[in-house]
Structure 1
């Protein structure tokens, strides 16, 4: 019997994803004076989703910067009639909407570390030239002489009752582009650790959050609440070990997978649930090791089926050594191949539900 005292259990607190993101921003703004936050209503209003609550009062106008609402035309520009030909528009008018993203990219090239908040990632399509052609490609095009340490962050994927133009997943869009890193947190620890790692990274990072998770509390360990807690980009996490089938997901569907695993466990099926955390670079090694053990694979995502994250995972497994361990074809669970409907009953049936995951697992296991 050892005479050494037992270590006390680590303190665990319930922290919402919103507060975890706020904590990460606060700690990084305090840690590095090159870090600043800009976006629509991030300052005096504390952000559309209150992620930046209190930061403007603490750090001031130079570190937390409100930008124009991109969809509103500047007062100095005339009203453009719908019949106007494209070539008759005022010079630079189409570029106004990508203005603050371009400012952030330029600041990163000059040595600062901006965090550029999109009120929703659907609005990032107005700035996709800055994200892809300027931020993602500049390091390669300059032979490494220009780095762009910037974080583009905001809510992504399905929301509630906002329909087709405000409810889609951009994981596959940005995960397709070399030069970007793409992270997609699920829990509060994910959100804090990945945001801090993204801000400290010397590459442009797209951080895809879920609006529906902002108010959800998760357990956070004492370690995760420290100022130096970071989660390595490119490393997945096994949320639940299992032996019969591998479930791989990112963002909100991770929770659905855990719920499905609880249902299936009552029927004698033990699912291994992998929280991908990072879309690019993808931790395919963790997925492969799990498939070698379980011999079955189901991927789950909220995005559309064609050319999606699940399709990439399945392709990588097919191309690698884990393919030889599969006892059945991999199964994908995705959003419906349709723009998001507004009606709630149609919306619910357009994104993966727990019952869909349970059905997919039984299909993979042929039970």
Structure 2
């Protein structure tokens, strides 16, 4: 029956991929908890020389969840994150979903009008915000329902906070009891509000359930990873913004599930990325076309920086120009795979399975096995 409806399944069978037989259950927090148990003793995150093993990360997530609960956060409450990639983002994200609350993603580059709109549209009353953009949040306070503001500063304790606003460190150190257990229905309960780019008007919050996110992570692993043991304990580059659904699912959650050490970069800078490739020897890199353009335009010897040691390069977020694909592959000697997705789909819907090759024209190749799609030209 499936082959009649989904002819692309035959291609997956050739690679022994049968994700349609899997029943994907569990919440996003359970995905994290199981990964922390499975990968105990391994490093989950590294950030400018500071590392977080899975045990330590899980303890910090539990502590943050307890502090949020003590501050009044309950199931279905919206908690905004306005952070670049950093350990505090990962800790906060899993703490929020641990309580059954809803992560509301806000791009730190947004201006006051956009920030105010998302806070009011989502109904968020709590925000965890990067110190460098704190002033923008403070300027919209009177026009929103924000009650709790938690500020993250990479340089130490943030200065000049309004009365009642807390640093991340102070908030985490609250004397709070254990976080309460919360019943979560993965199929129905929303884990994240992912605001779209607003290409058809104002930005809209895609309501992504726990099952949406967990399923997309597992589908991507099933399609891309033939042997998870070849990835566990290795490294990936966390350069794609986690506040974007591509970075959230295909880097952060993907990396946690597989036990990859994620080398976090708050923003993509070519020289810094090249240093990571050379010094950390990651096994996987997911980026957008402009990142690959930047690497090529740097004029650096990419093989000298060990990009040829990376097992998988992924591109998404926007269309990958075929000339860029060919140039990168020629320079590095590795295939550049391209995927397609959208926020509402958590996000990946189409991919180039590595066992079928990266394609010669940059096409997206095949929908994920669970997905349905229609050729609108017919």
What is the TM-score of this pair, normalised by structure 1? 0.31
TM-score, reference length from structure 2: 0.30
- Larger-Rg structure: 1
